[in-house]
Structure 1
Amino acid sequence: MIVIFDLDGTLIDSAPDIHKTANEVLAEEGLGLLDMDTVRGFVGHGMPHLVRQLLGAHGIEDEARAARMISSFGARYDGAVGLTRFYAGAAEALAALKAQGHVLGLCTNKPVAPARAVMRHMGILDCFTAVIGGDSGPRRKPDPEPLWMAIADCGGGPALFVGDSEVDAATATAAGVPLIVHTEGYRKTPAEDFPHVAAFSDFAALPGIVAAQAEALETAG
């Protein structure tokens, strides 16, 4: 079975590093700093969108300024790993899934270079056969293309998608891939409000969920 993961809010809590970087960029622009909850609410649609939301929070629409801030944010992003942490049990769940013979991929709206950088820092990059970032193709999630790219790069075939947000739910629905929801991530609405086949808060449950879903897909096929 191919199991594709989202990154931020699913495997790792990177909001502290994103928040720190966002405020560094805002300070550089002479703009007021924002609190963690506000910045966390901007995560999920990719870094350019996040930067435009930072400006929007200050009532500013200025594409030239946004472009400058995107460049500044990007220059800091690869090194923004010091405050990022795994969700409890995530690393162990990845190891268990690999041991069960599943092929793992990653599909995130984070640009691929900082995605790889934080995965390398966390020691999980080698777990993944494919890593698709927000700049790996012409479209980002919730367009289904990045998820399809990740599945293809993992060899193609039946797949599950593990994510945490409304963006991930819309991506899975558009791609026709069953979604498993990590309920402790960055979603803004109740998980029951969007389509999924299973949900978990404790990563210890994930290998069993994947096994059950793989069996169900095999039976249905």
Structure 2
Amino acid sequence: MARIVFDLDGTLVDSAPDIRAVANSVLAEEGGAPLSLAETVAFIGEGTSVFVARMRAARDIPDTEQKRLHAAFLPRYQGAVELTEMYDGVTDALRALIDAGHVLGLCTNKPEGPADAVLRHFGLEDLFATRIGGDSLATRKPDPAPLHAALDALGDGPSLYVGDSETDAETAARADVPFLLFTRGYRKAAVETLPHRAVFEDWAALPGLVAAL
């Protein structure tokens, strides 16, 4: 059976509204205009430090304020779950994969604390045998090290990575792991431009795709 590792934001859950609320609370204290949801989605994907840098640049806040604003962002992000929604069918698909004998892991650029808060909020924490966050290692995706770490923790067997974005596709390619692309997440580029083994927009289709692969 396979080792299947999942991204979190934009793959299992739509967390952009919560991330936007955190960002806008920080910007409000700086006198900056709030981010739109579209801006927020565009900035997600490469960890909190990159998100804050993009947020800051979009509001003409100088580089010298990066460390301070990142420090203001992180504690508010820890429990930001109330506006986050899980995509339909996620729990059933994950349980079906486990029932089929597969072992599941998580590899996200979201820091461990906020990631664990989301998993607890939706009752998903016991479905993943290992979890690698954006602050678990010295590097983040698209460096392949976090994905390799998650797969190594799951033991032996065929491997798959499931994600929604350019960062996820690049991570899988650099790790030489087959990639399954969820098309309703935070991807900016056209599907055909991203390397993938299969695509899906309905979580109910995922167990069948895994079986076929």
Whether these two folds match at TM > 0.5 is: yes
Counterpart residue identity of residue 75, structure 1: P
In the alignment of these two chains, the number of paired residues is 212
Matches within 5 A, 1:43-192: 43-63=44-64, 65-192=65-192
Q: Does the 8 Å contact 1:44/1:109 carry over to 2?
A: yes
| Deviation, structure 1 residue 6 | 0.2
Please give the TM-score of this superposition, normalised by the length of structure 1: 0.94
Check if 1:211 corresponds to 2:211.
Answer: yes
Check if 1:34 corresponds to 2:16.
Answer: no
Per-residue Cα deviation, 1:3-36 (whole angstroms, up to 9, x for no partner): 0000000000001100111101111222111111
**Unmatched segments (≥5 aa) in structure 2:** none
More displaced stretch, 19-28 vs 149-158: 149-158
Per-residue Cα deviation, 1:146-196 (whole angstroms, up to 9, x for no partner): 000000111143210000000000000000000000000000011111110
SS in structure 2 at match of 1:41: helix
Q: Does the 8 Å contact 1:151/1:157 carry over to 2?
A: no
Aligned mates of 1:156, 1:32 — CA distance in 2: 49
Please give the TM-score of this superposition, normalised by the length of structure 2: 0.97
Identity of aligned residues (%): 53
- Superposition RMSD in Å: 0.9
Counterpart residue identity of residue 158, structure 2: P
Aligned mates of 1:153, 1:174 — CA distance in 2: 19
Aligned mates of 2:121, 2:174 — CA distance in 1: 32
Counterpart residue identity of residue 122, structure 1: F
Aligned mates of 2:62, 2:203 — CA distance in 1: 40
Residue 219 of structure 1 is matched in structure 2 by: none
Aligned mates of 1:37, 1:75 — CA distance in 2: 23
